[in-house]
Amino acid sequence: MSDDEINKAISDHVDVWLPYACDLNAMHEAQNSLTAEQARCYDRELQKIGYRNRLAGAFWLWHFPAKWKAEAFVRTIEKWKEAKL
């Protein structure tokens, strides 16, 4: 998904438009909207992204770029769309 598509998906969920895909502060605000169950799913999605990018372990989750966190968020709310080839 493009940054614009990611920003729109998150904005639709939280009712506030911010540049989520490139702003860690915006992603922090979005994360606060997740339920406890969604937060667990979000953590699992972040871990998958970390393993895919060869960064594993809880320590690394704090250092992920906003784009990765935004992807995990959109996957968590089940709005992720795979790129068409």
Q: Give tens-digit pLDDT for 1-17.
A: 999 999 999 999 999 99
Answer yes or no: are the C-beta atoms of 49 and 68 closer than 8 Å: yes
Report the Cα 82 to chain-centroid distance in Å: 14
**Tokens (6 digits) for 46:** 């972040």
pLDDT digits (tens, 9 = 90+) for 25-68: 999 999 999 999 999 999 999 989 988 887 766 566 678 899 99
pLDDT at 32: 96
**pLDDT exceeds 80 at position 71:** yes
Q: Report the distance separating Cα 73 and Cα 20, nearest Å.
A: 10
